[in-house]
Amino acid sequence: MSYEPPKDLYTIKGDMDRGVTMSTNVTRAAAAHPNILYSDKLLITDLYLTDGEAMLNVYCPRCLNSLQISSKRKAIEWDPDFGLFVEPFTCPWELGDRGDERIAFGVGMCRWRVAIEPCHRILDTTEGRLLVSGIAKDA
């Protein structure tokens, strides 16, 4: 005897019946891709601007998780000619399953905390020249 869920649980506006799928390329949807310099690392970010609000998507260099910083909670200012400013923010992720490093009660939290200050300079790399739009400094 096999279980079949009711049809209304997995049909959303009839899309499943027709085999239609929706996808969005979020990299192309970004308004800009500011490069942020942190220590000896270059962080590639996606900046989304919608309805007067900004959202920055960046990968934490410490725990490698994706962070989304919204202008609803943190001040974000973007000027293509001047650079990117983001007030101090903290990574909320756990460091992950790495043996004994993951400890209860918040001890295993990443807590990478930085502020991004505007910068507008060219960085020469082995792959060419890159425009740096901000510098992340420990806060």
One-letter amino acid for residue 129 of the chain: R
CA separation for the pair 109, 99 (Å, rounded): 14
Where is mean pLDDT largest: 29-33, 85-89, 123-127?
85-89
**Predicted confidence (pLDDT) at residue 108 exceeds the cutoff of 70:** yes
Q: What percent of the chain has pLDDT over 90?
A: 41
Q: At CA 112, angle to CA 108 and CA 118, rounded to 5? A: 170
pLDDT of residue 99: 47
Does the pLDDT value for residue 89 go beyond 90? yes
Per-residue model confidence as pLDDT tens digits over 13-28: 444 445 555 455 555 6
